[in-house]
Chain A
Amino acid sequence: KAGVTQTPRYLIKTRGQQVTLSCSPISGHRSVSWYQQTPGQGLQFLFEYFSETQRNKGNFPGRFSGRQFSNSRSEMNVSTLELGDSALYLCASSFTSGRYNEQFFGPGTRLTVL
């Protein structure tokens, strides 16, 4: 079974631009969560989607948004990029939403904002 895939793996943008990252979950998984990882803040939860609905949201500004499609694939969008948005963005999929569902992580997208 193929793992979680994320595209692109690396991205360089300039301040003020917007970016869209993509995540394809493991086949059969319906929940996708997004995380931001930086050296200073560590790994922080962005949001979770389940059956095309956002179930959970972390403490990030409205510039960060996401969506999930009927095939469970998910996209994350960041508008008006800032230097501080440079990070490794990880998505994780699980079979369902709820308690004690093992989350399988993708390799991440490394975003650099210049």
Chain B
Amino acid sequence: SQELEQSPQSLIVQEGKNLTINCTSSKTLYGLYWYKQKYGEGLIFLMMLQKGGEEKSHEKITAKLDEKKQQSSLHITASQPSHAGIYLCGAALITQGGSEKLVFGKGMKLTVNP
């Protein structure tokens, strides 16, 4: 079965600092999703990557998928308190029936101090 490992498990940064979160897969990724979760709430979609070498950006967040499609990184530039939360990566698994289910990493808890 596919497993996703996220690192670091938690991070505390000062407002304005840059940071990077990593997500490593035990198998080749067909699709990789990044979500953000405020504690005890639902997940907010950030980005989805499919192709090796792909890079996407939204506001101050950039996500990349490596060429081998086994590792993804999420980079936040000039962090703000609004970036605080739990960041989860999810791998798309295609089932025999052709549908898709997501397997998630354990998450990375980000705290941004003003």
Question: Does chain A bind chain B?
Answer: yes
A→B interface (CB under 8 Å): 4, 31, 33, 35, 42-45, 48, 50, 55-56, 58, 88, 90, 92, 97-108, 110
B58 to chain A, nearest CB (A): 13
State whether B103 touches A45 (Cβ < 8 A): yes
Contact of B100 among A100, A108, A110 (CB under 8 A): A100
**A33-B101, A43-B88 as given contacts; A99 in contact with B41, CB under 8 Å:** no
A38 to chain B, nearest CB (A): 11
B→A interface (CB under 8 Å): 30-31, 33, 35, 40-45, 48, 50, 88, 90, 92, 94-95, 97-107
| CB-nearest residue of chain A to B50 | A100
Given A90-B43, A104-B45, 17 additional A-B pairs, CB 8 A: A4-B42, A31-B99, A42-B107, A43-B104, A48-B99, A50-B99, A88-B40, A97-B98, A97-B100, A98-B99, A99-B31, A99-B98, A103-B45, A105-B42, A105-B43, A105-B44, A107-B42
A108 to chain B, nearest CB (A): 6
State whether B101 touches A99 (Cβ < 8 A): no
Whole-angstrom distance between the alpha carbons of A43 and B43 in the complex? 11
**A42-B106, A43-B88, A55-B95 as given contacts; A101 in contact with B42, CB under 8 Å:** no
**A97-B100, A103-B102 as given contacts; A56 in contact with B95, CB under 8 Å:** yes
Residues of chain B within 8 A (CB-CB) of A42 are 104-107
